[in-house]
Copies of this chain bind each other. A is one copy, B any other.
C-alpha cells in the first residue's frame, strides 16, 4: 500500500502544494523549494522541518509547474521507428529497452515510448519531439528507410542512437557494436577449427546488423581463400534459421560450419542439423550471435558472439545525458563496442 497520506482536509480539494508544505514547516516557499531540491544552503533544522511536512502532507511536486520554470521535463523518448513484431521479438531490442529504462531510472528520468511508422505517424512523431515534451531521445535504429537522424539533427534535440543510423551518422551520437568484427571473429573461429565449407545464415538485408555481420563473414572467408557463396538470409527468428539451414544443406550437403547472425537462427539451424543426423560440432560447427537468453538452452550449447548490450544501453543514456546537461544540441560522438566470442559447445 502506498504510504502517501492523502491530504486530510488541509488543502482545498487538490493535492498539497509547496506553499502548504512551507507553511506547515514554518519556512518560506523558497526555503522549502531548496530543501526539496537537494537541500543546498538550507539549515539542518529547516531541512528537517520541510522533510517532515512533506511526509505528513504526502506532498509531491507538480511536474508541470516545475518543468515550466526549469525548462526540463525529466523524461526522454525512446523512439522505435517501425514497431513490427520483428523489433519486439528481437532479444537485442528488448534488452536494450530494459537497459535504457534501468539507466534512466537511476537518474529519475521517465521513458516515453514513441512508436511510429513512416508517413503520417512520423509527422506526428516529429511534431511531438519538437514540442518540449521531452529532454531528448534515444532512437533504436533499425531500418534503412528511416531518415529520423536527419530530422533530429535538424531539430537540434539531444539524441543518441542505438545502432548506427542510416543517414546523418556524422551528425548525431550513437553507440553500436562492431558487427563486422563480430562476424569475422565467429568465422575465424571456424576457420581455425579446420572448417572449410562454411555457410552463413545472414540477417535481413535492410538492417545494419545483418549486413555488417555478413560482411565480416565474407571478408574472413576470402582472406582464408574459401568460397563465400554459401549465404542464405533469415529474419532473425528460429523458424527463419531453420528454413535457411535447410536450403544450405540442400545446396551444400558437405558443409562443415555455419555462422548465424542471431542465436535464434542458430538454434533453428541446430535443430535442422540434428534432424538430418549430423552431429554438432563434430560434423558441423555452429556459431550464433547475441548471447542473450538463448545459447544456454540449446543442445549443444551455442558458441556465440556476445554484444555488451547492458553497457551499450548505459553508454547511450550517458551520451544523451551529456548533451542534455550541456544544452548544446546534438553532437556527433560515436562509441563502438567490441563484440566478444563466447565459447561453448557448438564450435
Contact = CB atoms under 8 A, between A and B. Distances in A.
Nearest to A298: B239
Contacts of A127: 60
Contact of A132 (B4, B62, B130): B62
Nearest to A113: B113
A245 to B, nearest CB: 13
A112 B64 CA distance: 15
Interface stretch (A42-50, A82-90, A200-208): A82-90
Interface stretch (A65-73, A159-167, A214-222, A318-326): A65-73
Please give the count of copies of this chain that the complex contains. 2
Contact of A112 (B91, B110, B154, B275): B110
A23 interface: no
A154 B1 contact: yes
A53 B1 CA distance: 50
A130 B62 CA distance: 10
A171 interface: no
A121 B104 CA distance: 12
A333 B4 CA distance: 26
B121 A105 contact: yes
A78 interface: yes
Interface string A302-338: 0000000000000000000000000000000000000
A65 B63 contact: no
Contacts of A115: 97-98, 101, 111
